[in-house]
Amino acid sequence: MKKLKNPKKFAHDLCDWYKTNKRDLPFRHSKDPYHIFVSELMLQQTQIKTMLPYYYRFIEKFPTIKALATAKSETVLKYWEGLGYYSRARYLHESANKIVNEFNGTFPKNLKDIESLKGVGRYTARAIHSIAYNQPSVAVDGNVMRVMSRVLLYDKDIRKTKHMREIETILEPVIIHEDPSVFTQALMELGALICKKTPECEKCPLKDKCFAYKENKQANYPVSSKLKAKTQHNFTTFVIRYNDKYLLRKRPSKGLLANMYEFPQFESPFDDAVKHIATLTQSSIKAINPLTTINHIFTHKVWNMKVYEVVLDEPSTDLVSLNSFPRAISKAHQKIIDVIKEKNLPF
């Protein structure tokens, strides 16, 4: 690993570039830590272009911590619907309640207090602390690790926590030379826009300070271990309907997609799964037809869903209209609703 030369100029050049080239994003127009908190959690596992419509809708519905804290959990999930990784919405809601109950409704300023919020890890806490409160807290995420790995020819596994801490330590005497809020956002932005997997080095304000660029080794960095293979789960999924009404059921209150709604599905072959339909509906079956196959990818697992349309002979009291269902449906099963519309089933 090389040493960073002239930290002051490094910080100055980076921040000058950011002020001219930064993207115009809504959460950058606010120093409200709550708004920054929402944006940071939404951006976990999600690209900005995907996240922005949800951010606008969420902030419009819950403009303040109190508004979020007093909302029903099902309403919060509904306004997160389609963004995925729903634990983030539950963490936001729990954190809002904690802020109201333990911090008198004011977002905490102390770094340890921010870290105490649900769903907030070291990076997120430091990002909020730096961006909202202009504190020299170094926030290191994947983008930052990629940039600094190339700048310093850092050849250690960037997925390991101890190596992220090492980069933090290197950046601590650098961030103090500029406005910390600007520096933190600038380093993230550089990783997002310029120092990508395939970097655009000629546009980079740090190329004269980057050892990977000087030695033409950009493709060798960063070094990262392979992710574990995702586990595969095979489901038989039933779209049970009578005319234009459908059966949805609520998932358990804990675990993956907690409290979300979905079409009934069973991790068993078709012949075994179909035996559950009578219990679910208390109605006789008119027809069962193959509908589609959907593969939905989570962080650590894949759902392989063979989906069947089940047409009932008579109505069931639990059937609902998908068009006006007021509660959140999991993203995996939103894909099924898209297929229902495409195939012009009653809706």
pTM of the model: 0.85
**Full 3-state SS string of 160-188:** CHHHHHHHHHHHHHHHCCCCHHHHHHHHH
Q: Residues with Cβ < 8 Å from 56, sequence gap 6 or more?
A: 26
Residue recorded with tokens 């999600």: 46
Give the active site residues: 40
User: Please, which residues bridge with residue 308 across strands?
Assistant: 238, 290
What are the residue ranges in the chain where pLDDT is below 70?
Answer: none
Q: Rounded distance, CA 29 to CA 223, Å?
A: 35
DSSP secondary structure code for residue 243 in this structure: T
Instruction: Check residue 177 and give its pLDDT.
Output: 94
Ordered structural domains, the chain, with CATH: 231-342 (3.90.79.10)
Instruction: Check residue 317 and give its pLDDT.
Output: 77
83-130 pLDDT, tens digit each? 888 999 999 999 999 999 999 999 999 999 999 999 899 999 999 999
Do the beta carbons of residue 201 and residue 151 sit within 8 Å? no
Token reading at 337: 């609703």
Is residue 255 exposed (0-12), middle (13-18) or buried (19+ Cβ within 10 Å)? exposed
160-213 pLDDT, tens digit each? 999 999 999 999 999 999 999 999 999 999 999 999 999 999 999 999 999 999
Q: Rounded distance, CA 33 to CA 22, Å?
A: 20
